[in-house]
Amino acid sequence: MADRSLRGIRLGAQSLQSEEGVVFHERTQQTYTCTVCARDTTLTFAADAEAPQAWECRTCGSEAVLRVGDGTVTVDHSEDKIPRTHWDMLLERRTIPELEELLEERLAFIRDRRGAGDDVTKQKISA
């Protein structure tokens, strides 16, 4: 019975709500020009929203810069964070001599474990 009542409707593909009485917010369109491939990308923002100075190019993934009038906005990257690596964060917590000491401890532990495992294997083979 349920199959017959849903026949002909594409579930999830179409909304059953209408746009009657809906008031859309004012919108503005901003154009971004890619610094590598020179393609333009037009995006729609709310009128009261501040458009970002840079956007990722849809074609090549490089930085696209906001175009204002005939020119483009210059993007200041001086305050951008430089990504820290795991090594950088590790060096914030430990010194090189401490790391060398920890490495030696772990290597000794692994060597002891392997050595003990080899003795057990040899005993099983000889028996």
Asked if residues 67 and 43 have their Cβ atoms less than 8 Å apart, the reply is no
pLDDT band at residue 124 under the 50/70/90 scheme: low
pLDDT at residue 11 tops 80: no
Domain boundaries of the chain, sorted by first residue: 26-76, 86-126
Q: Which two tokens stand for residue 58?
A: 């849809």
CA angle, 9 then 10 then 16, to 5°: 75
pLDDT band at residue 90 under the 50/70/90 scheme: very high
- Taking only the tens place, the pLDDT of each residue in 56-86 is 988 888 888 888 877 777 777 777 778 889 9
User: What's the confidence (pLDDT) of residue 35?
Assistant: 86
User: What's the confidence (pLDDT) of residue 28?
Assistant: 92
pLDDT band at residue 38 under the 50/70/90 scheme: confident
| Matching residue, tokens 């010194």 | 95
User: What's the confidence (pLDDT) of residue 62?
Assistant: 87
User: What's the confidence (pLDDT) of residue 25?
Assistant: 87
Q: What are phi and psi of 32, to 5 degrees?
A: -115, 135
User: What's the confidence (pLDDT) of residue 12?
Assistant: 65
Interstrand relation of 71-72 and 63-68 (parallel, antiparallel or unpaired): antiparallel
CATH architecture of 26-76: Single Sheet (2.20)
pLDDT band at residue 107 under the 50/70/90 scheme: very high
Residues 13-23: what's their mean pLDDT? 77
